[in-house]
Amino acid sequence: MKSIALSSILLATLFVFTSAAEERPNILWITSEDNGISWVGCYGGTNAKTPSIDKLAEEGFRYRYCFDNAAVCAPTRSIWITGMYGVSNGTQPMRSRNEIPHDKIAYYPDLLNRAGYHTSNPGKTDYNIGGREDKEPWDLKKGTQYGWKKREPGQPFFCVVNIGDSHESRAHGNVENTRNDPAKMKLFSYHPDLSVIRKNYAKYADAVENMDKKVGQCLAELEKDGLAENTIVIYNSDHGGVMARSKRFVYSSGIHCPLIVRIPEKFQHLYPAEKPGTVVDRLVGFVDMPKTWLSLAGAEIPNTFQGRVFLGKDADPEPEYHFAFRERADERLDNVRVMRDKRFSYHKNYMPFAPAGQHLAYLWKAKATPAWEQHHREGKTDEITGRFFRPRVSEELYDNKTDFDNVHNLIDSKEHQEKVAELKAALRKKQLELNDSGLLPEQMRVRRAAANKVTIYEMIRNEKLYPLETYLDAADVALARDAENLDAFVAALSDEDEGLRWWGIVGVHLLEDKAASVSGALETALEDEAHEIRMMAAWTLIKLGKTEKALACLESLLFEGTHNEIMLHNVLDWMGEPAHPLIKRYMAEGGSKDGKYGISIFGRVAELNGW
């Protein structure tokens, strides 16, 4: 009798499990590369025609406020695979591949596999994380992009289809003979109205339309296989773009992305609104996506996942703000944080001495970018079209409702000071919550983690190794550019913590001529153990007209070696003419004109100067 009873229980359990499995949705996640909302018809874009995506929006739910957290591919994809903000585990610099503790941080396909899903991603991974092969967690790693075809009969699937036809590279090369009419292109207000820029827009519009066709083909294949009625379809781009000052930058054109979710009627209990075709006003960040996919699949969600479930019966409360960040992109350094709500965005530039429009090899491959730069060099840009190439302020505030292009900085507007204070406070709270790793220069934090034999993830969670609150305070004082703090900056240059010495030198540098009285302390800083501080001290002295010792320091770093070569090359370029003799000699002695993504930083300087 016990045997019969046990068999009955097992059969009942199997029936319940099977029934539950049959009710679990398949999930198809279609991602396109590099196109923000301005390139999609159902979001009001007029340059490209996107009938497949528009039709999907009619059949599903179009999210009005969806934002990427990182504005460029590899850091974004590290967010997706881990469900963590890159600044919270050290994966925010482009293609850094810093390691994370894989025994503590699961990838979301691992968890879908454990829940019985077949997972496939034979296309782009680019997760920017060391210590684990990108393809390893997926059941289907190569072959057909329609991975559902390789699952076991009846097995629920999670399939990623990544479409590269709208990638930035499709805007490179010849811009003649486009399908789209350059004269009909609507330009961002920060771009001058030049013929080559219009042609480049038209070339990219062609690429977006090619991408849209691939979306339609994927949906048709799903329908042909009889799976549309059992499959939730998600479409979004991987960040904004693609014309200059969008991709890689945390302005709206770089992070405001399309998101459309189509849910079959049998799963209408998951609807985010009353009926398909509705526009959903919920604020969604990319960090929310993997956690939401796990929730829809009924999979385990570890506490490492930092987003919010935005869909289904287990949806979390809507966030009030969205957090975004920018750091090194390819060979170029920067450090920006953004906190925004649905309307206003507050930007904090932690490296305002790095020009926004500094030459970046891959970005300059699109003909529109060098044409824009040359237009500026010829003195033909105005306050709006030329600002990209001018020095930056420490803080910015934009009204995205009236100024999507983010060209009218309201940071000093009296009527917006309450909003500035609100978003600044929210930003600091978020940085502390996430243990934001970006308050030290990239190589400085890499060295510190290595010296302590921990990952960056672990280091920033140890207050003794990374006193974040102290760094945030020091950065705020430095970015304020107040000469009343000069003595405090000089005192910081003697601190045993190189992180505080860093913010001390940044504070002195940003004071420019007001720091002339502390040249002695700057000369002492030329011998700092941290080469980043030496570089900034040298640059500051040169700005003050104290060149001899400063150039000798930079010469030593350039020809005898440094533990932060990429920063040295950036600083020498930012310095301009005073550094040219050093760069010219370096190139004459065998420095390469070729970089990983095109011409090197020094190669570009040599090219401009005819060396």
- Supply the CATH number for residue 230's domain: 3.40.720.10
Same domain, residue pair 303 and 447: no
Q: Is residue 8 part of a domain?
A: no
User: Which of 266, 301, 320 is at the close of a domain?
Assistant: 320
Report the pLDDT value the prediction gives residue 2, as an integer from 0 to 100: 37
Distances (CA, A) of 114 to 118, 248, 531, 550: 10, 35, 47, 58
Buried b / exposed e over 241-256, threshold 16 CB at 10 Å, is bbbbbbbbbbbbbbbb
Same domain, residue pair 105 and 234: yes
Q: Is residue 329 part of a domain?
A: no
Report the pLDDT value the prediction gives residue 538, as an integer from 0 to 100: 98
Distances (CA, A) of 196 to 74, 115, 185, 387, 549: 29, 52, 12, 20, 45
Report the pLDDT value the prediction gives residue 23, as an integer from 0 to 100: 82
Same domain, residue pair 304 and 446: no
Confidence of residue 15 (pLDDT cuts 50, 70, 90): very low
Same domain, residue pair 299 and 439: no
Same domain, residue pair 123 and 257: yes
Distances (CA, A) of 178 to 365, 366, 525, 589: 18, 15, 55, 44
3-state SS track over 65-123: EEECCCCCHHHHHHHHHHCCCHHHCCCCCCCCCEECCCCCCCCHHHHHHHCCCEEECCC
Q: Is residue 361 part of a domain?
A: no
- Cβ pair 584, 552 in contact under 8 A: no
Report the pLDDT value the prediction gives residue 12, as an integer from 0 to 100: 36
Confidence of residue 16 (pLDDT cuts 50, 70, 90): very low
Same domain, residue pair 42 and 185: yes
Tell me the average pLDDT across 427-446.
98
Same domain, residue pair 309 and 457: no
Model confidence over 360-385: pLDDT tens digits? 999 999 999 999 999 999 999 999 99
Confidence of residue 18 (pLDDT cuts 50, 70, 90): very low
Model confidence over 102-126: pLDDT tens digits? 999 999 999 999 999 999 999 999 9
Q: Is residue 246 part of a domain?
A: yes
Is residue 4 over pLDDT 90? Answer: no
- Cβ pair 550, 539 in contact under 8 A: yes
Q: Is residue 172 left, alpha or beta, with left meaning phi > 0 and alpha meaning psi from -120 to 50?
A: beta
Q: What is the rounded CA–CA span in Å between residue 460 and residue 467?
A: 8
Of the two residues 11 and 275, the one the predictor is more confident about is 275
Same domain, residue pair 42 and 188: yes
Cβ contacts of 338 within 8 Å, gap of 6 or more: 250, 255, 322, 323, 324, 325, 345, 346, 347, 348, 427
Is residue 268 over pLDDT 70? Answer: yes
Q: Render 463-529 in DSSP notation, one character per residue.
A: TTT--HHHHHHHHHHHHTT-GGGHHHHHHHTT-S-HHHHHHHHHHHHHHGGGGGGGHHHHHHHTT-S
Tokens 């000369």 found at:
523
Domain count, the chain: 2
Is residue 20 over pLDDT 80? Answer: no
CB-count exposure of residue 456 (10 Å: 0-12, 13-18, 19+)? buried
Please state, rounded to an integer, the average pLDDT across all residues of the chain: 95
Q: Most distant CA pair in the chain: distance in Å?
A: 97
Report the pLDDT value the prediction gives residue 7, as an integer from 0 to 100: 39
User: Which of 320, 346, 365 is at the close of a domain?
Assistant: 320
Same domain, residue pair 77 and 223: yes
Q: Is residue 16 part of a domain?
A: no
Q: Is residue 363 part of a domain?
A: no
- Cβ pair 392, 204 in contact under 8 A: no
Q: Is residue 597 part of a domain?
A: no
Tell me the average pLDDT across 37-64.
98
Is residue 501 over pLDDT 50? Answer: yes
- Cβ pair 386, 380 in contact under 8 A: no
User: Which of 320, 349, 371 is at the close of a domain?
Assistant: 320
Tell me the average pLDDT across 315-344.
98
Q: What is the rounded CA–CA span in Å between residue 279 and residue 68?
A: 19
The one-letter code for the residue type at 538 is A
Is residue 198 over pLDDT 70? Answer: yes
Radius of gyration for the chain, computed over Cα atoms and rounded to the nearest angstrom: 26
Lowest mean pLDDT among 19-33, 342-356, 556-570: 19-33
- For 61, the token pair is 């739910």
Is residue 323 over pLDDT 70? Answer: yes
Is residue 19 over pLDDT 90? Answer: no
Tell me the average pLDDT across 272-279.
97
Bridge partners of 256? 67
Range of the structural domain that residue 563 is part of:
435-575
Tokens 């400085």 found at:
444
Q: Is residue 514 part of a domain?
A: yes
